[in-house]
Structure 1
Amino acid sequence: MENQDNIKPGDVQSPPENYLVWAILSTILCCLPLGIVSIIKSTEVNKKWAEGDYQGAHKASADAKKFATWAAIAGLVIAVIYGILMAVGVLGAASSGAYGY
């Protein structure tokens, strides 16, 4: 990774990745609150880059990636917990005779 402290306005570089697609997917499929923060951070990347705040653009990019990752992890944890609770509920109902067996 390059050193962002040495970036000057005259340097020809492309803006950092904004992770907008990952932010939107993590919002829809995983965890709404963290995904929304990720979308906000990802939209700041190009704006800060255009304003010349290169270090801020890199920070917003890293934050967008971090929040999208945490949203995906939270969604996975919630799905696993939901699956366990459903399995326990089905097994509990089957053992109590709720299905008439």
Structure 2
Amino acid sequence: MPAPQPPPPYIPNHLVWAILATLFCCLPGGIVAIVYAARVDGKVAAGDIAGARSDSENAKLWSMISIGFPAALFVLYFLFLLFAGAIGAINN
């Protein structure tokens, strides 16, 4: 009788964050994140733990880029409007 195999380690795939980033923030970066996230579970099942960890980190990175870049643009636009309004109020 063969010895029981230990369960594979849990590696998060970050698929939910990738989908949310795609729907609400940045479509191209979110699609890249979804592709990486979709590969994680298959690599864990195949025993490629290093590849699964790499794809998990890439999915997380692209999700954060896809969320952070539009958020940063929004903040910069808000600051531009704030300063433009302040300068307009000073000139009047």
What is the TM-score normalised by the length of structure 2? 0.74
1:21 to 16, 21, 26: 16
Aligned to 1:35: 30
Q: Is the 8 A contact 1:30 1:72 kept in 2?
A: yes
Residue-pair matches, total = 84
Unpaired segments ≥5 residues, structure 2: none
Q: Spell out, residue by residue over 1:71-92, the C-alpha distance to the aligned partner (whole angstroms, 9 max, x if none).
A: 1110201222343455578x4x
Please tell me whether residue 75 in structure 1 is matched to residue 66 in structure 2.
no
Identity of aligned residues (%): 34
Opposite residue 55 of structure 2, the aligned amino acid is: A
Give structure 1 stretches of 5+ with no counterpart: 1-9, 96-101
Corresponding letter in the other structure for 1:20 = L
Q: Deviation of residue 51 (structure 1)?
A: 1.5
SS of 1:14's partner is coil
In 2, are the aligned partners of 1:37 and 1:67 still within 8 Å (CA)?
yes
Q: Which range moved further: 63-72 or 11-20?
A: 11-20
- Indicate the RMSD between aligned Cα atoms, in angstroms: 2.1
Judging by fraction of residues, say which structure has more helix: 2
* CA distance in 2: counterparts of 1:66 and 1:25, whole angstroms: 14
